[in-house]
Copies of this chain bind each other. A is one copy, B any other.
């Protein structure tokens, strides 16, 4: 798949049309189909509006047209509100009327089962043939809050005034787009564009984001997502947003499905869809939030500090300096920061001394409590010092009742402080303090309504750093290895060796002759591409000490295999040197259906299925990213200096992870999935013990 892009004229027709037609526009103000017309008049849309209604000369007091064919001039964008069964036949008239974009509110397509899907496929084929682009079907529409161009039936646009601003939203849920806009509007957040993509039959989220990367009115992009339908297009659009300095913040459903997907044994299933999409977000610098309202609350903070956060390598555990006028209020945020792995950090002694010289006595505690102890100018001074301090990565200010009743104490110093661009400042107001929240928002300061969204936002911001798949040399496919289907363990080992991964010394030998030069002790197992689970066939023996033991083992393994699977093709007996290890890990590769090649490092064994403990990234990764993955897997703490246990070779492990991930870029057959399980980590090396590889 390659990235799709809207041309400039189509993007304009989508986001800022000059002439629109409303097919199925009603005169009955109670009906949804009357809304776009009403909304655009209410919000003073300056373009031309053509209502189309076969049964009426007038719609809401304006001249209506019986059909698209009857329009006096071409239009850019047609909004369709007729029953789903009538939509396909409308496309040709739309094309003839000059439309570049047709937004389809009608439902009864892919969301309605197999018949609907067939209808949708036909619709898209027709549009492609006609050279027009579709938004939807099942889209609640688009809105341009600067122009009043509301091609949408969403009730949120009933509002008396739309707040124009620099945030744009793209949503896979029409109703949630409205809900989020209404929540944000109640807080005074202004928007530029909103786009409901509906079923994404043609124009996808990625294409809209790409258009927003070029939109001068958009500075932050919010995504409400249920899935990911076109990763390459979105990846390209995200890169363009990064280049334009526009943060992209996402709320995605499906976090708890992850739990189910993870309780599976295979790498593929372990990397559930949500984990894969999360890896995609991470790779492309998307700020993923976990609470609904963080989605818009984070916008000012992200807009102000993203460039710094994207540039700097995040500290391993980002340190947050905390000042407050309410100890309990600060604690509610700090507790949540801890759950996100962020540390509230006490000022060093030098800083305390310096503040004392400046007349403010603070304590060397992780929360600097100024309740009743500071004037507003002292508060501002401390804030400015903190924002320039080397010992913290972000500053959190928590205000108590003064936020509600005495804004001069904390809120005004926040508004007035001189703020550098490289140190994020987040504010939590403990009481109900709508006016102060609005003031801070107007000052472009990231202020949060709940301790949970505040911590969620800081965690998303401080962990944001795009790390797209690494450049790496491609693997030359070994000539002796088949180019399709499931490989034998021995063949898979050859590929892994070719990638540069140490593999346990092994050979496939004739079970009659048993000639080999692998040092004892040995493990022996059947080699057959027809037997996936060798232990089920009782076709594995370990701890073989000598030739006599190998003879006994070989006879048992062959007999057991014949009994278990009489028709299995037997290549021979795989004998392998028994290796020692500190810990066992699993290394997985999968071509994910949503995001493409992914690599997984996780704790191995059946216990890990109960207690998911893995790191997943888009493949390939470089050694530095591999090291981050190692640190993310809790189980590896056992080899990273935990309680005096011996250390494992994390550098070798990182090299192995990076090497394995290059399955994504082989010059040869496409790999569907692969696994090394277990991968032994030792004090001075790693070694792959068992593995499988399935070609596409």
Contact = CB atoms under 8 A, between A and B. Distances in A.
User: Quick one: copies of this chain in the complex?
Assistant: 2
Interface string A171-186: 1111110110011011
B326 A179 contact: yes
A175 B328 contact: yes
A155 B329 contact: no
Interface residues of A, number: 69
A451 B292 contact: yes
- Residue picked from A328, A329, A331, A335, most chain B C-beta under 10 Å: A328
Contacts of A328: 171-176, 179, 224, 226, 253
Given A175-B430, A182-B432, A253-B332, A404 B326 contact: no
B291 A450 contact: yes
A71 B560 CA distance: 100
A26 to B, nearest CB: 15
Contact of A635 (B430, B610, B635): B610
Interface string A255-294: 1110100000100000000000000000000000001110
Nearest to A430: B179
Interface stretch (A56-64, A114-122, A637-645): A637-645
Contacts of A401: 154-156, 175, 178-179, 182
Nearest to A451: B292
A611 B638 contact: no
B638 A452 contact: no
Contacts of A433: 182
A336 interface: yes
Contacts of A185: 432
Contact of A432 (B171, B174, B186): B186
Contacts of A257: 335, 338
A349 B603 CA distance: 42
Given A178-B400, A185-B432, A452-B291, A638 B607 contact: yes
Contacts of A332: 176, 253, 292
A265 B642 CA distance: 12
A613 interface: yes
A172 B339 CA distance: 22
Interface in A11-42: none
A115 to B, nearest CB: 15
Contact of A431 (B172, B178, B404, B432): B178
Interface in A180-217: 182-183, 185-186
Contacts of A452: 291-292, 452
Contacts of A293: 450
Contacts of A327: 173, 175
Contact of A326 (B175, B610, B643): B175
Contact of A179 (B265, B431, B645): B431
Nearest to A325: B175
Contact of A607 (B158, B335, B405, B635): B635
16 contacts: A155-B401, A155-B406, A175-B327, A175-B328, A179-B401, A182-B432, A183-B431, A186-B434, A255-B338, A256-B335, A265-B643, A292-B450, A603-B607, A610-B637, A611-B611, A611-B634
Interface of A: 154-156, 158, 171-176, 178-179, 182-183, 185-186, 224, 226, 253-257, 259, 265, 291-293, 325-329, 331-332, 335-339, 371, 400-402, 404-406, 430-434, 450-452, 603, 606-607, 609-611, 613, 634-635, 637-638, 642-643, 645
State the 6 A-B residue pairs at the shortest beta-carbon distance, nearest first: A256-B338, A173-B328, A176-B328, A175-B326, A155-B401, A179-B430
